Amino acid sequence: MDRDWMRQQLENFASLAVRYQDSKRPGDVLGDKDLRAQLHQSEPTVKQILHRLDPQLAKTVNIDVMAGVATSRNQVLRGLGILADMDEWAVRLAPDAPSIAADQFHSWVWDAARPFWESQHFRAAVHTAASSINAHMQNKLGRSDIADDKLVQEAFSDKAPEPGKPRLRIPGDPTSPTVQSRQRGALQLGLGVFFAIRNPAAHETGEWTEQEALEQLATLSVLARIIDSCQVSR
């Protein structure tokens, strides 16, 4: 998130709200119409920012209701408080456990998932990331006739390459038990990803939790790194 931009938008709204309230004369119901128009223009962006910080804050931002400008300004001030302290929270309140940074996932996964993740469409983020892996694998093998689990099955098959059917091979000595184990594991992991992650993401309804989706993106990232590192055997 661009916190500096978020802070500037919230501070501008809070300042506008004060100026608008100060523009009211005794007995006035409404203040300066130009300032009110600026508040209306800023309100949608402010609500989006507050929703990212705390969805509850955004729910009561509505300058058209009774005392709406004052209430909205109070919520904006709370949002500014979150922005000011969120880094400290991350350090001081974090559990004593390792964390994982989504933006460090393989680029095939995170670049595809990020737009949906930022809008909190977690299931769609996972589905798009899995589709991205499929597209990159098709491109690497030069195949568009099959996809998903069928492509994984043929790509990691232990059969020799055939015309129009290149294979993906784990780097290293093919006679090494470790390389052979990784080759078999890549096949099983790839099938598991498309059967247990990609297909539910594509066909289920409803939203997934952030934690569940993050764990699945991590699994997708493991598969993406394996495929990216593989050699193509023709």
- Concatenated DSSP letters for 37-81? HHHHHHHHHHHHHHHHH-HHHHTT--TTSTTHHHHHHHHHHHHHH
The b/e string for 47-75 (b: 16+ C-beta within 10 A; e otherwise) is bebbbbbeeebbeebebeeeebbebbbbb
Contact (CB, 8 A) for 112 and 131 = yes
What pLDDT score does 87 carry? 80
| Cα distance between residue 158 and residue 169, in whole Å | 9
Here the tokens at position 104 are 């460090």
pLDDT (tens digit, 0 to 9) for every residue of the chain, 234 residues total? Answer: 789 999 999 999 999 999 999 998 888 888 999 999 999 999 999 999 999 999 999 999 999 998 999 999 999 999 999 999 988 887 787 777 777 899 999 999 999 999 999 999 999 999 999 999 999 999 999 999 999 999 999 999 999 999 999 999 999 999 999 999 999 999 999 999 999 999 999 999 899 999 999 999 999 999 999 999 999 999
What pLDDT score does 27 carry? 82
pTM: 0.64
What pLDDT score does 44 carry? 96
What pLDDT score does 94 carry? 73
| DSSP 8-state code for residue 98 | -
What pLDDT score does 173 carry? 95
Residues 6+ apart with CB under 8 A from 89: none
